[in-house]
Amino acid sequence: MKNLFLFLPFLLFACDINQDPDTLVRSLDYPMRQANYNPVYGNVKVSELAPGKLEISIKVENTSKNLNHPAHLHFGSISEVGELAFKLNPIEGSTGTSVTILDQAKLSNGELLTYDTFLNMNGSIKIHMDEVYFKNMVLSYANIGANQDYFFDGVAVCTGH
């Protein structure tokens, strides 16, 4: 019995009962590159908070202060039109930021979006000027997943949604 009391304090410190469910498991950063000679650039961070739960955080510079800029995850690289895979929360023009939490989210093709799916996806993230007049104009992009190293130096448009 005496040995049990000596061992009990170690058990108490080994368990973290108050573990935050949004604790970061894995993450990866991608550069958001300028598109079509627009001055918008920055970074997107994709983080796995738990199995099947992702956070996509975008931070860009030089956005239009009075606009919210749509942000989308697309199938295909920036050089392709690319079908819309998932609508992300828009970039707030005044801050240049967007955070989207995806919990057991499914892509437009029905596939569950996990961190590993994201890493292997042939996709891109595109930021647009607005939802109305210039909805096809891409301000900034990031090739992600399987084509993350592909650099595109051309005119980027988006009509895949």
Using DSSP, state whether 7 is helix, strand or coil: helix
Q: What does the pLDDT profile of the chain (161 residues) look like in tens digits?
A: 555 444 444 444 444 434 455 566 899 999 999 988 889 999 999 999 999 999 999 999 999 888 899 999 999 888 887 899 999 999 999 999 999 999 999 999 999 999 999 999 999 999 988 776 677 788 999 999 888 776 665 555 565 55
Q: Give the pTM.
A: 0.80
In the chain, domain spans: 21-145
Residue 62: which of 127, 10, 6 has the closest Cα?
A: 127
**Secondary structure E strands in the chain:** 26-34, 41-50, 53-61, 68-75, 84-92, 97-103, 122-128, 138-145
CATH class of 21-145: mainly beta
Determine the Cα–Cα distance for residues 112 and 102; give it in Å rounded to an integer. 10
H, E, C per residue of 79-108: CCCCCEEEEEEEEECCCCEEEEEEECCECC
34, 49 Cβ separation under 8 angstroms: no
Determine the Cα–Cα distance for residues 116 and 51; give it in Å rounded to an integer. 10
